[in-house]
Amino acid sequence: MNFVGSHILSVDQFSRSDIARIFETADTMLVYAERQRITRILEGAILSNMFFEPSTRTRVSFGSAFNLLGGEVRETTEVRASSLTKGESLEDTARVLSGYSDVIVMRHPQEGSVAEFAAASRVPVINGGDGSNEHPSQALLDLYTIRKEIRTRGAGVDGLRIALVGDLKYGRAVHSLCKLLALYDNIHFSLVAPPGLSAPPAVVSLLEAKGHKVTIHHELERGIHHVDIVYVTRTQEERFASQDEADRYRGLFQLNQAVYTANCEPNTVIMHPLPRDSRSEAQELASDLDANPNLAIFRQADNGVLVRMALFALVLDVADRVDEFSKPVPWHSHR
């Protein structure tokens, strides 16, 4: 795809080479995220960060990514989009608000709303999550993390062995990650979910149609044998019809250090889109794993900033000039 001026709405937009371009760009952002240098390439640019559904992590990650490139952020966090609109169509909102900024990130509880908004926007729109539909930057940062983690052992994404664990029915992040991984070759997917939360048939078919190997498990232990990555998700409680139904699944699969040691390979990488539920009854990823160097969940969150910087840089066509506007960092940084 041609990134310049484009909307980023869905993982379906990306070819394998597009992903490579995003990831190469994300790699160049590390020096700024780690505060070895600052860059002012987007000095004067304005991001409209529009969150019609609370999502502190995603909102702050996008906002910080834009600040790290030197830009300013105008934020809207109205929970009730209705109070914004007074009957205004999403198209009108887009036409007006796109006059106030250079790029827009939008999160909205309703599926398809971000694409509808983007169609009327005069500036590029990045989907920050539209209901259970898409959240492309999450899928990209997940794949970027996979690539980075296994690269240190000389491996690539082709031939990857990955276990996807937990709520595979409602987990938007998992569905999008599967779509991205499907672009690569010869991947072994171990889909580990309780009966009732299995991955949708469409996801399984897609993977098989592309020649990947898919194994279905209903037990945690056997599902995480012989994999490079264990990707654990929380139960998407808010998608269930009743709290009762949600409660039924909470705590069913708990990955802790003992289970890891007994079933995983010594360097199996542990991922999770966060937040992980640390209440005693949930614990899908126990805190005794925090000392495990293969726990990549916080590196994964950090990578989100790099990937989002890359998306901004590509869409605004500055990816190749970021260094030109760089300066030393005069303050003390731990990072």
Edge-first strand order for the sheet with 229-232 is 213-217, 188-192, 161-165, 229-232, 269-271
- The answer to whether 137 contacts its own copies (rule: CB under 8 A) is no
Query: Is residue 135 annotated as part of the catalytic site, yes or no?
Result: yes
- The answer to whether 89 contacts its own copies (rule: CB under 8 A) is yes
Alpha-carbon distances of 198 from 16, 160, 186, 211, rounded to whole Å: 27, 21, 22, 20
Neighbours of 315 (CB within 10 A): 21
Q: Which of 20, 100, 186, 200 binds its own copies (CB under 8 A)?
A: 100
Shorter beta-carbon distance to its own copies: residue 123 or 207: 123
- The answer to whether 286 contacts its own copies (rule: CB under 8 A) is no
Site string for its own copies, 7-46 (x = CB under 8 A): ----------------------------x--xxxxxxxxx
- The answer to whether 116 contacts its own copies (rule: CB under 8 A) is no
Which residue in the list 57, 226, 299, 327 is annotated as catalytic?
57
* Residues in CB range of 150: below 8 A, 6 or more apart: 156, 157, 160, 228, 229, 269
Part in contact with its own copies (CB under 8 A); list of ranges 108-116, 147-155, 202-210, 273-281: 273-281
**Nearest-approach distance from CB 146 to its own copies, in angstroms:** 18
**Total site size for its own copies, rule CB under 8 A:** 76
Cα 73 versus chain centre, distance:
21
- The answer to whether 1 contacts its own copies (rule: CB under 8 A) is no
Shorter beta-carbon distance to its own copies: residue 191 or 319: 319
Which residue in the list 135, 147, 169, 276 is annotated as catalytic?
135
Query: Is residue 299 annotated as part of the catalytic site, yes or no?
Result: no
Concatenating the DSSP letter of every residue in 8-50 gives B--GGG--HHHHHHHHHHHHHHHHHHTTSEEE-TTTT-EEEEE
Instruction: Tell me how far apart the alpha carbons of residues 173 and 135 are, in angstroms, rounded to a whole number.
Output: 7
Query: Is residue 122 annotated as part of the catalytic site, yes or no?
Result: no
Cross-strand partners of 163: 190, 230
Active site residues: 57-58, 86, 107, 135
